[in-house]
Every structure is written in C-alpha cells, then in structure tokens.
Amino acid sequence: MKKRLITGSIILLVTALFLFTTRFTPYAFDVFVGVIAVMGCVEVSRVLERKKIYTNIIFIGCFPAVLYVAMSIGIINERGWTHYIAYFLIALLALALINFLYTVIFRKITLKEMNKYSVSDMSVTKFAATKCLNSAFVMIYPALLFTALFVINHFYDFAFVDKTGLADTNLIVVFFLVYTYVVTMVTDSMAYVVGSYFKGPKLCPLISPNKTISGAVGGLTFGAFGGLVTYWIFGANKVFKEMMEYLEISWWKILIIGLIVSVIGQIGDIVASALKRSARVKDYGTIFPGHGGVMDRVDALIFNAVAVLIVMFIVL
C-alpha cells in the first residue's frame, strides 16, 4: 500500500505539472500525451501477444505521432472537420499497408518471427495480413482514443470551432482537460474506497472480481461531484464565469456531464480488464510500482477524453 501511495503521488504530481503548462503552451502536454500513448500501445500489443495475436509494434508506435502531424497540418491549413476524418483513414490505411508489405518483403525476418512464436499453420502472406489487421486494431484501441487528448488540447485551434464571444479560449481548454482528469481519478479512487468499505454484489465478477456495484455507484457519485467542484473552482475566475454564462453552461449541466463521463470511464476500465483477463495477466506492465503499466492508469482516462471531446463539440 505504501509503494502504491508513493507511486500514485508521483504520477499525480507529474500529471498536474503538465496540465499546468497548458495554460502557457500546449506543446509540453502534447509531448506528455505522445509518450504515454506510445507506451500504452506497446503494452496493449504485448498483452495481445500473450493471446497469440501478433502485431507490428514499430508501426503502432508511430501512429500517435502520425495522427498528431496530420492534425497539425489540418490546423495550419485551416481545414474543415471532414478533412481530419480523411487524414485518420489515410494514416490508418497507409500504415496498415506498409505493415503488410514490410512483413511480406522481409521474409527471412518474418520466418524467424513465426518460428519464435511457433506459428506453422499459415503462410507468410496470411501471417502478414493477420498481423496487419491486428495492428490496425491497436491503432484504434488505444492509439486513436489517446488522440482525443490532443484534440481537446488544441480545440480552439481548429478552424471549424466557433470562438465568437470568448475572451480566453485557453482557459476553457485547460478547464476541460483538468475536468477530464479529475472526474477520472476521483471516480477510480472512490470506487475503490467505497467498494472496499461497503462491499456487496459484484459488478462484473467474470471480468473484474474486485469491482462491486457499491463501488461503481460510489465512484459515479464522487466522480461527478469532483467535476462539479472543479467547475466551482474555475468559476472563481471572473472571465471563466462570464464565458460559461455566455455558453449557457451551468452547474447542473456540468453535473450531468460528470455522471455520463464517470459511467463511460468505468466502462473503459472494464474493457481494459476484459482484455487483460482474456490474456490471463494482472497488469498491462510493471513501470509503475503498485499500479502496473501505463494502460492500467489511463484505461478509463482515454474513454473519458473521447466523451468530454464529444461534449465539447456539442456545447461549445
């Protein structure tokens, strides 16, 4: 428990530091997200490998960076939202094709890999196609979900987002980033605390035996309230308060958003647990003593980031 608390405190401090920098520049946070995105993709690939689902980690690791570059090009050239969908599809298909060709062309390397994994029931071409599809899956989960954090961080840089009547768009972006992290962390922490205290029926015993219904409800309640407290703290800033009033975003809307985000985050946690359970592993990695790997810390966060981003497109 002591090791877990120390590691958790360090993670919290580092995350808070990078969130703080977004008030002055978006790029430090971009680097932070980029690093954890690559690490998360590698961890998911390793877990899939235990299920004999093989991927090409090199191309998967490149995907978050490719998406970031594509997003930056779109922002610089003031493209519409349809262009970004096209960029994603082009990047996904291009890397998938390169992955396939690489596996086929470098046949000797592929045969050594197949021998290493004791794959003898398929040809090199079929192995390359299978590996290509598996890699495409990881490019979507979790790589694409991580991209939501990039988009939130640069939300008002997009030409198709309306900035009319807003005095400090950066402050709104910082709020939604902090809000995403707060709801995620409070939901996760309080689900553990409430579930440990009240216990009761299991939420999904076959996937995650330690999760309880009481913990899920506790996490939902405290997570939404944590988001509301974040809103009130930011509301102490007169400019932020005026912008929220202009956008017609009141405290009860923030509370509803918090409830939705908290539920989605818990679903994301269950999805990650299901993948681990199917591969018969406890954690995605060991980089964080007492906490496991990167994906063990951000499994709910990346789902919440997508949810918050959708909300931003609706209400802003």
> For 114-126, how does the pLDDT look when each residue is reduced to its tens digit (9 = 90+)?
898 888 888 999 9
What average pLDDT does the structure give for the chain?
92
Please write the tens of the pLDDT for every residue from 208-237. Answer: 888 899 999 999 999 999 999 999 999 999
For residue 168 the two structure tokens come to 């400090």
pLDDT of residue 1: 62
How far from 186 is each of 28, 46, 58, 141, 193, CA to CA, in Å? 24, 29, 34, 23, 10
Q: CA-CA distance, 28 to 17, in Å (whole number)?
A: 10
Report pLDDT digits (tens) over 25-80. 999 999 999 999 999 999 999 999 988 899 998 888 889 999 999 999 999 999 99
Asked if residues 309 and 151 have their Cβ atoms less than 8 Å apart, the reply is yes
- For residue 191, what pLDDT is reported? 92
pTM of the model: 0.94
Q: Which residues pair with 212 in a beta bridge?
A: 202
Mean pLDDT on 151-169 = 95
What is the rounded distance in angstroms from the CA atom of residue 169 to the CA atom of residue 160?
14
Are 183 and 262 in contact by the 8 Å Cβ rule? The answer is: yes
pLDDT at 117: 85
